[in-house]
Amino acid sequence: MKKNDDTPKGIYWPSATFIIATHLIAIFGLPTFNWPAFWICLALTWMTACLGITLCYHRLLTHRSFSVPKPIEYLLTLIACLAWQGGPITWVAVHRRHHGQSDQQGDPHSPRHGFFWSHMGWCLYESYFNQHPDQYEKYAPDMTGDPIYRFLEKTFVLWNIPLGIILYLSGGWTFVIWGIFIRITFVYHITWLVNSAAHTWGYQSYKTSDQSKNLWWVAWLSFGEGWHNNHHAFQTSARHGLNRGEFDLTYTIIRFLERLNLAKNIKLPTKQQLQTTL
């Protein structure tokens, strides 16, 4: 398999089995609905998708668009592990490669192989990247050198077990199904829509070398990540909703953390950079 070969290969069974099983449990578990379970699901969705994936894995760890004290950084990373989207080293390395080769040969999840591939197919099939984890050190050396991140990388799949026990003791299997499997499935698709829909539909405000788009409904689902053309134009910016009407909840939370003196070194594009509109 060539180094930059991103064409679909055979099924990657560890990931495919995990994702398919989670979806099936979520689908067959829908009839267990009750309102307490729904609100638990919603709260955990916000925690894992917004605080975990969007704020921590993406803006904090991948792009270092702001900083927080290390204990808080590790806590946020642990929350992100509950999304079951891979350990922090894997997630960061894959996303940094995406930016380095966005919509070109070597992009792990570009729509150049079709919408399904960019949405979730890339997680189900073998690729050079998921067959060569040694590449993670190349893309995430700041992560691989940290023993806590290496520990979380190896154990990320286990952290939903104590959460599941708490949910079961609080509300039985209905809480487990909605708080883990339905929530994880929903968060999967929120994240994947940024890779697929936000590289297919929408508008571009800034010149980039890829097909990234700003797509309002993805932005609302993903807590600001759908302002994706803005993000690709200014990758280290902590704020993705850069223009009028582009609400970015995650940036609002970052500013709140700044008021608490917990978030520092917040990176934003300059006025001159923002003038490079199409």
In a domain, 234, yes or no: yes
**Mean pLDDT computed over 187-192:** 98
**Mean pLDDT computed over 209-235:** 97
pLDDT band for 3, please (50, 70, 90 cuts): very low
Query: What's the pLDDT tens digit per position in 70-96?
Result: 999 999 999 999 999 999 999 999 999
**Mean pLDDT computed over 48-63:** 98
Query: What's the pLDDT tens digit per position in 170-179?
Result: 999 999 999 9
Query: What's the pLDDT tens digit per position in 229-266?
Result: 999 999 999 999 999 999 999 999 999 999 999 999 99
What was the pLDDT predicted at 278? 66
CA dist., res. 166 & res. 228, Å (int): 36
Q: 54 Cβ partners below 8 Å, 6+ apart? A: 222, 223, 224, 225, 250
Q: Is the pLDDT of residue 228 over 60?
A: yes
Identify any residues that bridge with 275 across adjacent strands, giving them in sequence order: none
Query: What's the pLDDT tens digit per position in 144-176?
Result: 999 999 999 999 999 999 999 999 999 999 999
Q: Is the pLDDT of residue 198 over 90?
A: yes
What was the pLDDT predicted at 275? 85
What was the pLDDT predicted at 130? 67
* Percent of the chain surpassing pLDDT 90: 82
Which domain range does residue 265 map to?
A: 14-274
In a domain, 229, yes or no: yes
Q: 21 Cβ partners below 8 Å, 6+ apart? A: none
CA dist., res. 79 & res. 159, Å (int): 9
In a domain, 1, yes or no: no
Q: 214 Cβ partners below 8 Å, 6+ apart? A: 198, 202, 203, 204, 205, 226, 227, 228, 229, 230, 246
In a domain, 250, yes or no: yes
In a domain, 57, yes or no: yes
CA dist., res. 26 & res. 9, Å (int): 27
Is 270 within 8 Å of 245 (Cβ atoms)?
no
CA dist., res. 184 & res. 82, Å (int): 8
In a domain, 81, yes or no: yes
pLDDT band for 143, please (50, 70, 90 cuts): very high
What was the pLDDT predicted at 1? 43
In a domain, 5, yes or no: no
pLDDT band for 101, please (50, 70, 90 cuts): confident
Looking up tokens 């590289």 gives 199
Mean pLDDT computed over every residue of the chain: 93
Whether this prediction's pTM lies above 0.85 is answered by yes
pLDDT band for 129, please (50, 70, 90 cuts): low
What was the pLDDT predicted at 180? 98
Burial class (CB in 10 A: 0-12, 13-18, 19+), 125: middle
**Mean pLDDT computed over 205-229:** 96
CA dist., res. 167 & res. 173, Å (int): 8
What was the pLDDT predicted at 5? 56
In a domain, 8, yes or no: no
What was the pLDDT predicted at 136? 82
pLDDT band for 125, please (50, 70, 90 cuts): confident
Distances (CA, A) of 278 to 217, 219, 240: 22, 21, 17
| Domain tally, the chain | 1
